[in-house]
Amino acid sequence: GAVVSQHPSWVICKSGTSVKIECRSLDFQATTMFWYRQFPKQSLMLMATSNEGSKATYEQGVEKDKFLINHASLTLSTLTVTSAHPEDSSFYICSASAGIYNSPLHFGNGTRLTVT
Amino acid sequence: SQKIEQNSEALNIQEGKTATLTCNYTNYSPAYLQWYRQDPGRGPVFLLLIRENEKEKRKERLKVTFDTTLKQSLFHITASQPADSATYLCAPNFGNEKLTFGTGTRLTIIP
């Protein structure tokens, strides 16, 4: 089945530093990748949609300069949390789509970010 | 704006019984609806997809129904097992690539 690898699985960083999270589709080409954020005991909140080779589309309220998304190839998207603050601590999850309408999304296993 | 509610936040079911989870939405009917399972600290895993013109879908012990009149989908797990304990998310799709996830139901199967 389709596999999405997300790395790192957890990261602790100091306030003010930047953190990069990678999302790779291992056995299929992902024309679209989605980035979600999830707080404890809450559902997934879509942050942005990224299409290979074009700028990401951010959801309302998500700062594009703070959460930089790059989708440089059909198998890799990255999310960089810039100048991280403790309130950015959360569980970040990516998912990938092969671009086929109404097909399931394949999720990575998430990255637990803790900003101290 | 579209609202998706899953009742209830937590559900405890005795092992061997059928667990039934609900997903209600407002306003527009989705073109299709997906159900996912999420274990703690992991990403969601796809379970079933049902289209708006389908009433019911089955996969092993899982069954999903879709009632566009009631604006509701039901997710059933028959002969439930402790290994079925997880959070279950419904995700309607309203005609584009984006999925909007429900609030989730944390299911616990009690041995």
B58 token code pair: 């089955």
Query: What's the whole-number average pLDDT of chain B?
Result: 91
pLDDT at A56: 92
The one-character DSSP state at A40 is T
Residues of A in Cβ contact (< 8 Å) with B31: 102
Residue A23 sits at φ, ψ, to 5 deg, of -130, 120
pLDDT at A83: 96
Selected residues 30-49 of chain B with any CB under 8 Å from a CB in chain A: 31-32, 34, 41-46, 49
Stretch A41-48: mean pLDDT, rounded? Answer: 90
Stretch B91-103: mean pLDDT, rounded? Answer: 81
Which of A85, A53, A84, A87 lies closest to A69, judged by CA? Answer: A53
Stretch B99-104: mean pLDDT, rounded? Answer: 86
B86 token code pair: 């997880």
B90 forms bridges with which residues in the sheet? B35
Stretch A93-113: mean pLDDT, rounded? Answer: 87
| pLDDT bucket at B99, cuts 50 / 70 / 90 | confident
Find the DSSP H helices in chain A.
none
Note whether B101 contacts A: Cβ–Cβ < 8 A: yes
Note whether A28 contacts B: Cβ–Cβ < 8 A: no
Which of B97, B79, B88 lies closest to B31, judged by CA? Answer: B97
Reported as half-sphere exposure (CB side, CA atoms, 13 A), residue A112 has a value of 6
Residue of B nearest to A94 (CA): B43
Note whether B8 contacts A: Cβ–Cβ < 8 A: no
Among B31, B43, B106, select the one facing A107 at the smallest CB separation: B43
Selection from A40-49, B1-10, B21-30 with the highest mean pLDDT: A40-49
Stretch A54-80: mean pLDDT, rounded? Answer: 92
B88 token code pair: 């279950």
Give the number of other CB atoms < 10 A from CB of residue B54: 13
pLDDT digits (tens, 9 = 90+) for B35-92: 999 999 999 999 999 998 898 999 999 999 999 889 999 999 999 999 999 999 999 8
Note whether A46 contacts B: Cβ–Cβ < 8 A: yes
Sign of CA dihedral A53, A54, A59, A63: positive
Residue pair A69/A79 in contact by the 8 Å Cβ criterion: yes
Between strands A90-97 and A32-38, the pairing is antiparallel
pLDDT of B2 > 80? The answer is: no
pLDDT at B1: 64
Among B43, B98, B104, select the one facing A49 at the smallest CB separation: B98
pLDDT at B28: 76
Min distance A28 CA to chain B CA atoms (Å): 16
Count helices and strands (H / E) in chain A: 0, 11
